Amino acid sequence: MLKINNLNATIDNKSILKGFSLNINPGEVHAIMGPNGSGKSTLSNILSGKKGYETSGEILFEGKDLFELETEERAHKGIFLAFQYPLEIPGVNTNIFLKTSLNAIRKARGEKELDAIEFLKLVKEKSKDLKFDEDKLNRQLNVGFSGGEKKKNEILQMSLLAPKLSILDETDSGLDIDALKIVADGVNTLRDKKNSFLIITHYQRLLDYIKPDFVHVLMNGKIVKSGGPELAIELENKGYENFN
């Protein structure tokens, strides 16, 4: 599904990713763990299409060169990023934002756009599953939401848009244990043979609830070790400093 070969990325003359490679097949859950500054967020930024990076190397998504696609085209093809810091957009009603987004993606997929009633039914169902406060749907997007609510809103969007590849960029940070379980439930519900996940995190605790197929340790811009779930536990015990 996603093939990253020897990716290098520089921003403001600072080299962040240095020969990063990763292969994710349909249905797999990969976790990337690494200390601050190892390049985790840069990786999610680049995959989502954020501008400002100088890059070399190759990223293929279902065989297509990702660099050829605009941010929204990547979203249309099924790449979703749960942002580490979800943006506040004053004046824009959350429901309207979600509906506009869902219909833009449905349209790109050649599916019928949902009318207001169909959409509301769907969003209410999903909110209930995720214990997302329905009143928030009528508020301005993320404005005045707590950190946990913002993160849940990301997962709500993920479950609405049903992407093929979901990238969770430190979605667990700032979540209490209940919220963490809800986020994990959201991921596990969507998990099947076709959908893949890339979970970026500092800590092992999210992986207690979402069992990854592979764990990779990212240090200084590249993967230094890959393994199964046990690697996360090893990492948690040893710490990054003593790794290597």
**Contact positions vs another protein (CB under 8 A):** 48-51, 70-72, 74-76, 80-81, 83, 86-87, 89-93, 96-97, 100-101, 104-105, 108, 140, 157, 161
Shortest Å, Cβ 193 to another protein: 24
Cα–Cα dist 104/76, whole Å: 8
What residue spans of the chain are helical by DSSP H? 40-48, 71-76, 94-108, 116-129, 147-161, 177-190, 206-209, 230-238
Q: Exposed, middle or buried, 203 (CB in 10 Å: 0-12/13-18/19+)?
A: middle
Tokens of 232: 């996360």
Nearer to another protein, 10 or 140 (CB): 140
Nearer to another protein, 98 or 199 (CB): 98
Shortest Å, Cβ 83 to another protein: 7
Nearer to another protein, 142 or 196 (CB): 142
- Collapsed DSSP state (helix, strand, coil) of residue 17: strand
Shortest Å, Cβ 240 to another protein: 28
Shortest Å, Cβ 91 to another protein: 3
Cα–Cα dist 59/66, whole Å: 6
Nearer to another protein, 8 or 48 (CB): 48
